[in-house]
Structure 1
Amino acid sequence: MIPFARLLVRRIALLIALLATVFVVVDLLPGNTARAVLGRDATPDRIAAKERELGLDRPLPERFWNWISGVLTGDFGHTARGRSINDLLADKFPPTLLLGGLALTLTVVASSVLGIWWAARQHTAVRLLQPATTMAAAIPEFVVATLLILVFALAAGWLPAVTITGRSGFPASPDMLVLPVLALAIPQIGWNTRVVRAAMVDAAQAPHVESAVLDGISTRAVLLRHVVPFALPTIVASFATTVGMVLGGSLVVETIFNYPGLGAVLAGSVADRDVSLIASVVALSGAVIMGMLAVADGIRAWSLRGRG
């Protein structure tokens, strides 16, 4: 089996193990799914009937097997309230992908520019970027979101603090995306800027780079032809990891800004102890992350070609 296929199988196995863990953890949470759906006034007979309807009276391994078997055929099943999970994900996942995609794009562009500039002009930029990136990377997304709302929405009044959903299911106006995207991107820009800078500095110390400088090649050509290709594997790996961080952070940021994505869906599913819906969100997010990791593996393999 080729290394890439072996790596893919390993990642799929890890994802399945994670989904099984989700089932176990949700089953251990206090509360009852049937009671959460029917309300506090539900009689014991109605609760028992609802449990049988949802399959909660069956052993946990059997419930997980039934769900994962459906997922393999493209059927995520139904929520505890009876709605198709496929339809729910089709409605709510695209806005989350839009938010995460914009935040990832901003992260890649900003951290690449800042990291390369920092590496090229270490003595002039280090005093500003070192504390700034450390602070940005250390602050959680929900704190950044709160600060952005206080400054740009409440104090300045420039941008809306709450997202209004249009008929398409997406935010009604583009300016409603600005603060959520910034809240997601700022911590990741701080971290990735430092990674890009470190990778560039390490690559610049390679012998072939010193030879290129001694040969009189321009700084720009040395940077683009000799430094960036050698720094690319580390940078791409960091950006690939950022995908998971952005998707995870988006669920929190969406709740703060009332954004029409998976954040509210996940919060409601936890309140209902709806393990099928929670696992479906995890599975879909995991599939996206695995896809981005595969792209990163391809870029890394391309950048490392001929070095062996």
Structure 2
Amino acid sequence: MAGTLTTLQPPGAAVPAPPRGPARILQGAGRAAWLAARRLAMLVVLLAVVFAAVEALPGDTAGATADRGAGAAELAARRAALGLDRPLATRFWDWMTGLPTGDLGTTARGERVTDVLSGPFPNTLLLGVLALVLAFSGALALGSWSALRPGGRADRTIDAAATTAFALPEFVVSVALLLLLSQWAGWLPAVTLTGPDGAPESWNMLVLPLLALAIPQIGWNTRIVRGALADQAALPHVKAAVLDGLSRRRILTHHMLPGALPAVAAGLATSAGMLLGGAVVVETLFNYPGIGAVLAGAITDRDTPLVAGVVAATGAAISLLLLLADLVRTTALGERR
């Protein structure tokens, strides 16, 4: 090994030390700024695609929201009032310039988009956060249990169950839960009733939508946790810990999980996007007061500002989680170097 180092590096040359103190802080801040700018650019591109996609749908919002029997002159006046006679790029630019101030525009029915989303979006966010926490907890427990017993019956059973859970679409899981826990057992309500504040009346109305969203993601993240821990188990320092006679729990918590954290964080961030996407279907099935119904109605009305507002709100939440996952991954890789 010494000979190899001598041939690659001149005698007496100093090995560059990793940055410390203010230099390390500046390096971390620059990395975070670059990652944030990249996520922001991706969100802008996504919003532009949404504008173009809604525009490509048959008909327009003037015709979809006009009174029945409206004539051509009335429709033309309504299109002018909604700004549909302007180029798509101009409308997109005007809408984007309002985002820094929190202005998401006005719906085709004359309501502020922020007012329309102020009630349903927190409900969807609550459901998504709870499902993400449940997915993380379940996947961490199952993946760790499986990784500590490689090749055993528990490992094979968990792997088969995780694969099956992830392969099932949310609507299939929702229907199965409705039949088992509501119709047959009668333990949980089949639909969500809304209280005066716009939120579900009771906590038990959250259980079925929560499980329907979390079960596929538990399967997805269990496989990620299991694979990441298996990679860590093959490293020399983990094998040395086994030979030293350390307990399996200590090996898991002190030697395997820290190295698996970047992969687990990336999997959870990906799950956030899947959860918010699946929420549209799950909320519709359980009559949950979230953005699912809002988005469905907005697409029916060809209401571009409202569709874009939903995408902007959910996209910002997902981008934040992806940014945090990027920071965890790059920080962990930087520390290894």
Normalised to the residue count of structure 2, the TM-score between the two structures is: 0.88
Question: Which of 102, 121, 126 is residue 149 of structure 2 equivalent to?
Answer: 121
Q: Show the counterpart of 1:272.
A: 301
Q: Show the counterpart of 1:243.
A: 272
Following superposition, the deviation at residue 4 of structure 1 comes to: 2.6
Distance 1:218 1:269 in 2: 56
Q: Alignment partner of 1:159: what SS?
A: coil
Distance 1:144 1:70 in 2: 39
2:95 is the counterpart of 1:67: yes
2:33 is the counterpart of 1:5: yes
Q: Show the counterpart of 1:25.
A: 53
The farther-off stretch of 34-43 and 285-294 is: 34-43
TM-align CA RMSD: 1.3
- Structure having the higher Rg: 2
Question: Which of 159, 162, 174 is residue 145 of structure 1 equivalent to?
Answer: 174
Q: Show the counterpart of 1:83.
A: 111
Does structure 1 conserve the Cα–Cα contact (< 8 Å) formed by 2:35 and 2:323?
A: no
Structure 1: 5+ residue runs without aligned partners?
none
Question: Which of 167, 182, 191 is residue 162 of structure 1 equivalent to?
Answer: 191
What pairs with 1:1-308 in structure 2 (closer than 5 Å)? 2-122=30-150, 123-308=152-337
Structure 2: 5+ residue runs without aligned partners?
1-26
Following superposition, the deviation at residue 302 of structure 1 comes to: 4.5
Counterpart residue identity of residue 131, structure 2 = A
Counterpart residue identity of residue 54, structure 1 = L
Following superposition, the deviation at residue 3 of structure 1 comes to: 2.9
Fraction of identical pairs, as percent: 54
Give the number of aligned pairs: 308
Counterpart residue identity of residue 118, structure 2 = A
4+ long deviations beyond 4 Å? none
Following superposition, the deviation at residue 135 of structure 1 comes to: 0.9
Q: Residue deviations 1:127-180, cap 9 Å, x none?
A: 321221111000110111111112211122211111100112110011110100
Distance 2:278 2:144 in 1: 26
Normalised to the residue count of structure 1, the TM-score between the two structures is: 0.96
Following superposition, the deviation at residue 297 of structure 1 comes to: 2.8
Q: Alignment partner of 2:277: what SS?
A: helix
Q: Residue deviations 1:213-254, cap 9 Å, x none?
A: 222322222111111111111111101111111111111111
Does structure 1 conserve the Cα–Cα contact (< 8 Å) formed by 2:32 and 2:327?
A: no
Following superposition, the deviation at residue 305 of structure 1 comes to: 5.0
The farther-off stretch of 51-60 and 148-157 is: 148-157
